[in-house]
Structure 1
Amino acid sequence: MEQFLELSVSPLIPSLPDDVTLDIVARVPRSHYPTLSLVSKKFRKLIASPKLYKRRSQLGITQHRVYALLRNRDSGDCRFYILHRKLNSRNRLVIVRSLPPVSSRGSFVSVGSKVYVFNDVDALSIDCASHTAQPIPDMPQRFSATPMPSKVANVIDGKVYLIGDSRFTFEDGMSWSKTVMVLDAETQVWEPVMMKEDMWVGALWSDAVVMEDKICMKGHRNANSFVYEPKEKKWELMDEDTHINHMSENMKQSPEMLLSPLIPSLPDDVTIDIVARVPRSHYPTLSLVSKSFRNLIASSKLYKRRSQLGISQRRLYAVLRNRNTGEFSFYVLHRKLNGYNRLVVVRSLPFMSSRGSCVSVGSKVYVFNDLSVLSFDCTSHTVQRGPNFPQRMSYKEVNVIGKKVYVIGDAFCHYVQGTGWMKVWQKAVTVFDTETESLEPKLVHEDMAVGVGPFWSDSVVLEDKIYLKGYMNGNSFVYEPEEREWELMDEVMNSKDWEGACVVDGVLYYHDRSGKVLRAYDPKQGCWSVVNGLEEFLAVETGRSRLSITVNYGAEKLALFFPKKQYGEKMICCAEIGLERRQGGEIWGKVQWCHIVIGEGPFDMVECVSVTV
């Protein structure tokens, strides 16, 4: 728009210079501008001119203006609307017809008095004082087109950070190539593109905000959330304390916690010592006290102190498969003091491969996919990538002895003429040292006959030996890590089709679904027995269950997960069962609680793991 072409001929107000009039109008609240624009054509031009808004900015008189992007369901057009503030009437959204429609996959941010719009390829800026649009240099690399916006834009110090997906790759599940592009709003120049190829974050974002000069991006549904630090060009998975309303929190001690004491009359070390002795079931309530307490409860320092005091508790994690999407997600069991316990998804953790397996060592869970290893700390839900397997490991069983994880599986099928492929497989044992985070040399056993081949029903550790149960009619065997010896499992232990088993206090337990009993195998006695006191519960609650999983839940207790149909809906239940060995060697069980932990949704139980925190 031309500036005051008509104004230079005749003044806005004859008795005042135009600069003085401009100074007066700049001090008038913007809500009065629609009325002032009716005075004359000259006033309309003044109110629409950049000179007026520049003067308002110089005087420090600025106001926020709200724009909204609305999509017309009939035409599919996405148009900008502005919120009109009316003095004596209701406020309204009014379309800005001078602005072009934008892409449904576009993203936009404001810098000063301008709005920057980023479509799939092109970009433009809008001057909100005059509602004029101007193209800016095209983005250096096209983002992937997805049904929802796969890119988000945020502003830090006058620079626009555009983060999205440039291409999709598939390896052991879901992996995305992330791209960061930066536009300098002052020079209108794009900075070099930065790629991040190994971040498990998925394609879709629910939202993104800037906090403390960091971009915090919330994953859509089960996708991971993460934080990007522009100064260091560093990516981190967003920490999430699932015990505090599933809100993401800073897992490190905040400056507020260091500057002001948690309890003014006590040193922080004393407060930490007190909170460490409080049962974890009370932590959600304590986290509501203040931000400092939330940071404390989510900090590794608290859990380290609990460990030093010998005050630790079991936390249960479950891997559930979504039948609709095929995704394998981690859930944590929320213990509630006065309500039902629930399985809640941990959104900050990546999806597990459909062929993955997981085990716990201390407060960490280790996930072993076909090629890769990753771990996450259960106190902060932060993920760390480990080494890759030198060769793909399929149909594997994973067990822990001491600080080492033993991965037993098949390197490849070895065909021997005359015997057929159903008889001979190349078995491999790979050992992962959790202290050094390294893989030890692979041990291969080429002549082990295992019946149907690579499939195992289950595996457990008893007396520092790994017991692997053959699938269906396959042979079962025992592996001794110290001697590196293999032997066939004894007939008594192999006589039961144990699956979904766990070991509690040196005894193997599994739910016999056909017999509707909980069975126990004591390796010292070398015989099977039935856990007494659970007959009625198992017959009523698990009578029609086709799958069940037991997991160690601490000394003298286990947790039993099983599906159940209720009101035509498939649900997942969990029961805590206390165990007691009485005189004569009999084992008795007592149900402490049984709750529906997943009440809706197309989910299947895949795996459970118990962690000490």
Structure 2
Amino acid sequence: MSSSPEKKKKKLAEELPSTQQTNPTPSLPDELLTSCIARLSRLYYPTVSLVSKSFRSLLSSPELYKARSLVSRTETCLYLCLESSSDSCWFTLCRKPDKTVTKDDVSKNKKNNDDVSKKKSTSYVLCKLPALHSPPAVFSGLVSVGSDIYNIRSSSNVSVLDCRFHTWRKAPSLPVELMALSACAVDEKIYVAGIHGESLKNASKVLNARTQTWDHVVSIPCSLTRRGALNMRSVCIDGKSHVATDDGVVCYNSQEGKWELGEAKMGSFRFSDSYCEVENVLYSVCNGTLRWYDGEVNVWRSLEGLVGLPKFLPGVSVRLCDYGGNMVVVWDKNMLSSGQKKILCAEIALERRGVCEIWGGVEWIDHVLTVPIGYYIVKALSATV
């Protein structure tokens, strides 16, 4: 008696080599499938990963990122770190599958006083990275270099998030423990400033991300800023590491190997975590509005335009991030009745108009995540993947 067709298929599948069984689309060679997915934007990878375990495996393979590099498909990806009293978690920006806007959606927006004619529908969302046992991020220096995000902690531990595969690895520890540290990246070097131990000496170190070694940098002299200077904030402007403290601004001249006084007017951004640098211009939030500064103008000015972007009320956490030449603004909105918090995000296109004007055009605004109200926005960063 002959076997049924189903049993024959099952027996044939068991006899096939394992490499053929794991191909998510057997009609396509692995190399061709990898080449096709490499051309997709990373914004769609979280959705593609839902197709099957085989697709998820392919999306985390080194071969895929070699293919992306060969076809010049590397792009800027947004990452957001949130932390609560018991948890530190990371998210990345992605696109949801296309959604048809219904009459109910329009009615809901009108009910919530949203301007439907101005608000652009984008369907962006923040996707949580898999359980990574992420190290604490509050009071750390968080800096991105290429496809890596460095978490430099006051305990001297340094961890690196590989944004290609979403895995953590260890990096060489800080040579000394630093308090009130801050960090910024200049090319492939990460400059770290902080307070050293009981002496309250202002110290500075630099990690070469390419060689993974700590290089010697002279400490910030007391003639430029007093010992134990708090409210340190670091940023890269004009290719130099700038550190703003309560005493003013200092910058490191790597050509001469010494610290110099910077422009004092720049330093007012130190009172907030809402700042970033985009194409050699420093942006910050002050009294609920966006403003900018560069060395050529040497004065803070308001960012013009921004139609559709709200004025940020006191108590709202705002984070700014360079997003491939544009700027991303991330902020929260408490919903006390539900005990939750909305995370909202906007992308701003920046346009220089003459010496003294920069205009911001809102590309999109979206509610990208809802979390328990106890979560705090630590930092927004971008990585090149």
TM-score range, shorter chain: 0.7 to 0.9
CA contact (8 A) 1:410 1:427 kept: yes
What is the CA-CA distance between 1:361 and the residue it aligns to? 1.2
Match of 1:488 in 2: 261
Q: Which residue of 1 aligns with 2:278?
A: 504
Q: Contact (CA 8 Å) 2:307, 2:362: kept in 1 or not?
A: no
Partner in structure 1 of residue 116 of structure 2: none
Q: Equivalences for 1:14-33 in 2 at 5 Å? A: none
1:469–1:494: 8 Å Cα contact kept in structure 2? yes
Matches within 5 A, 1:78-117: none
Task: Letter of the 1:553 partner, please give it.
Answer: Y
* Aligned residue in 2 for 1:596: 367
Question: Which ranges of structure 2 fall in alignment gaps of 5 or more residues?
Answer: 1-16, 99-122
**SS of the counterpart of 1:456?**
coil
Paired residues, what number?
340
Q: Deviations over 1:136-168 (max 9, x none)?
A: xxxxxxxxxxxxxxxxxxxxxxxxxxxxxxxxx
SS in 2 for 1:596: strand
Q: Which amino acid in the other structure matches residue 486 of structure 1?
A: W
Matches within 5 A, 1:272-351: 272-323=34-85, 325=86, 327-338=87-98, 339-342=123-126, 344=128, 346-351=130-135
Q: Is the 8 A contact 2:46 2:94 kept in 1?
A: no
Aligned to 2:313: 543
Aligned to 1:562: 331
For the structure 1 residues 258 and 434, does the alpha-carbon distance in structure 2 shift closer, same or farther, using more than 3 Å as the test? farther
Quote the Cα distance in structure 2 between the aligned partners of 1:285 and 1:597. Answer: 15
Q: CA deviation at 1:464?
A: 1.3
1:529: which partner in 2?
Answer: 301
Q: Partner residue of 1:398?
A: 183
Look up the equivalent residue of 2:182 and give its one-letter code.
Answer: E
1:342–1:393 distance in 2 versus 1, CA, 3 Å:
same
| Superposed displacement of residue 552, structure 1 | 0.8
Cα drift, residue 264 of structure 1: 4.7
Q: What secondary structure, in the 3-state scheme, does the structure 2 residue paired with 1:494 have?
A: helix
CA distance in 1, matches of 2:241, 2:355: 28
Q: How far apart in 1 are the matches of 2:281 and 2:46?
A: 34
TM-score w.r.t. the length of structure 2 is: 0.78
Give 1:281 shift.
2.8
Contact 1:397 1:456 in 2 (8 A): no
Compute the RMSD of aligned alpha carbons.
2.8
* Structure 2 partner of 1:361: 145
With over 3 angstroms needed to count, the CA separation of the structure-2 counterparts of 1:432 and 1:506, relative to structure 1, is same
Q: 1:284 to 1:537 in 2, by over 3 A?
A: closer
> Greater Rg, structure 1 or structure 2?
1
Q: How high is the sequence identity, in percent, across the aligned residues?
A: 30
1:214-271 per-position Cα deviation (integer Å, ceiling 9, x unaligned): xxxxxxxxxxxxxxxxxxxxxxxxxxxxxxxxxxxxxxxxx85577756555543333
8 A contact 1:408–1:428 mirrored in 2: yes
Counterpart Cα distance in 2 of 1:579 and 1:337 = 28
TM-score (norm 1): 0.51
Q: Is the contact made by 1:545 and 1:562 (CA closer than 8 Å) also made in structure 2?
A: no
Q: How does 1:186-585 map to 2 (within 5 A)?
A: 256-257=18-19, 263-264=25-26, 266-323=28-85, 325=86, 327-338=87-98, 339-342=123-126, 344=128, 346-352=130-136, 354-369=138-153, 370-414=155-199, 425-441=200-216, 443-451=218-226, 453-470=228-245, 473-494=246-267, 499=272, 500-512=274-286, 514=287, 516-534=288-306, 537-539=309-311, 542-555=312-325, 557-566=326-335, 568=337, 569=339, 570-582=341-353
> Which protein, 1 or 2, shows the higher relative CO under an 8 Å CA cutoff with sep ≥ 6?
2
Shift of 1:452: 7.6
Write out per-residue CA displacement over residues 165-216 of structure 1, whole angstroms, 9 at most, x where no aligned residue.
xxxxxxxxxxxxxxxxxxxxxxxxxxxxxxxxxxxxxxxxxxxxxxxxxxxx
Instruction: Give the partner amino acid of 2:285.
Output: H
Q: Distance in 1 between matches of 2:124 and 2:250?
A: 41
Give distance in 2, aligned partners of 1:354 and 1:582: 37
